[in-house]
Amino acid sequence: MPKEIRNRTDVCFDAFQSMDLDGLEDQWLLLIGGKRVFAHPSEEVVLKYAREHYPDDVPCLLKVPFRHPYSM
Amino acid sequence: MVISFESIPVKIKGLMVHRPIIPVHLLHRKDRDFLIAQSLWVDSGADFTLISHTIAEQLELELSETTAPVGSIGQDYRVRGATCGIILARGAEAYRLTIPVHVADNFEPRYPLFGRVGVFDRFDVVFRQRNGRVEFHNKDPSLKRINLPEKLRPR
């Protein structure tokens, strides 16, 4: 097992579910310790940010679901 | 043993739609200390799990030399094949498995997908739409539960 996985996905996921995601549709969020620390539409940019700012943590990338443009 | 996730509610003009989006740990091909946690959309209509080229690159996955069209989308969108180690975990329940994945070659997936091959043949996947949940029932006797160490807890 990896030795330093402190940013457990399901904990971040629980935090993600209780967040106000309005205005963040289609964006990737970076969560560290259950807290949102960065958001951007590009997965690559978010990963790069994670590597630069949180090199010792597992990057937890959660994408905010989009809304269908043709919805009622 | 069952791993159960709450679906993600999306409000679309007053209508609440629950999407089966779940967190998955994607493991590096060689470096056991390196992994990325990502949200994947459980898609019973997708043969294969689909991830972006960016993520595959980070995980240093070994990609197939040739590309193939994505069946349901058409000839313009192509993927490469690879295998990827994953950890599916919820609370104390955790499983490590290796699954075949498709890596988007010339497009950015709108959402990464968790497809059937390698997953639905090991778990009975139940979509409880009324309860806003998706469950993974382990049906593969060879798939052993792993223990996640305490240090997996967030700081």
* Structural contact between residues B70 and B108, judged by C-beta atoms closer than 8 angstroms: no
Taking domain B2-152, whether its CATH number is 3.40.50.2300 is answered by: no
Verify whether the Cβ–Cβ distance B6 to A17 is below 8 Å: yes
> How many angstroms separate the CA of residue A43 from the nearest CA in chain B?
7
Phi/psi of residue B33, each to 5°?
Answer: -90, 0
Chain A residues within 8 angstroms (CB to CB) of chain B: 1-13, 16-17, 26, 33-34, 43-44, 47, 58-63, 65-68, 71-72
* ipTM of the predicted assembly exceeds 0.85: no
Cβ within 8 Å, pair A9-B149 = no
Contact B5 A13 (CB under 8 A): yes
Q: Would you kindly state where each structural domain of chain B is located, as residue ranges?
A: 2-152
pTM for the predicted model, two decimal places: 0.89
d(CA B124, CA B2): 9
pLDDT in tens, B126-145: 999 889 999 999 999 999 88
